[in-house]
A and B are shown apart, each in its own frame.
Chain A
């Protein structure tokens, strides 16, 4: 199985901060990497697909980059509604594993 390791597991930041989350795959997944946001009690929401493509309707302050085994998710300027948990997920090979999540909290 492909293991997805996110870091950090939690993060405290302030409104307006730039935030970066990393996701590392245990083997190359080319660019088959998606990022989701989940708020408490809600279903996940797709933000970024194929490592760097912004899902329609998602604000441009969200971005993704990387290929192979190392990927980065960035929020350029945190907004109050961005405090949530973020997951990476690989769609390269079965089982299509998720990372363990990064909980973004208000400082």
Chain B
């Protein structure tokens, strides 16, 4: 069975750092695109970061420099490193698998999400 399990969320003070983890089972993260998507309370989905099969990464410009995505192939796990956290980063963070289709891709497997709350 394919599964993604996120962890690492919690309450963090403004300016702090967190590393979210996304453990995959049933498939290999290095053979797929992997993505982080967040959703602030009551708000819409916001795409955050992407790591391609070859290891190249991309993060949305507004978060670049503070957020970075990586993966550990030996642990079959993807990470989201978040630094200099702000109140507006409060959200549920979802990990998702991207499956390639022709020249495009889609997110066909999602984790349950992990809540990050940035507050003093």
Interface residue ranges, A against B (CB under 8 Å) = 31-32, 34, 36, 38, 43-46, 49-50, 53, 55, 87, 89, 91-92, 94-101
Contact = CB atoms under 8 A, between A and B. Distances in A.
A73 to B, nearest CB: 14
A95 B61 contact: yes
Given A43-B111, A55-B106, A98-B47, 9 more contacts: A43-B96, A44-B45, A46-B107, A49-B106, A53-B101, A91-B104, A94-B58, A99-B44, A101-B44
A14 to B, nearest CB: 25
Chain A contact residues: over half helix, strand or loop, or mixed? loop
Interface residues of B, number: 24
A87 B45 contact: yes
Interface in B95-119: 96, 101-108, 110-113
B72 interface: no
Contacts of A96: 35, 47, 50
13 contacts: A32-B104, A34-B106, A36-B107, A38-B45, A44-B107, A45-B110, A46-B106, A50-B102, A55-B108, A89-B107, A91-B105, A95-B60, A96-B35
B106 A91 contact: yes
Contacts of A45: 110
B94 interface: yes
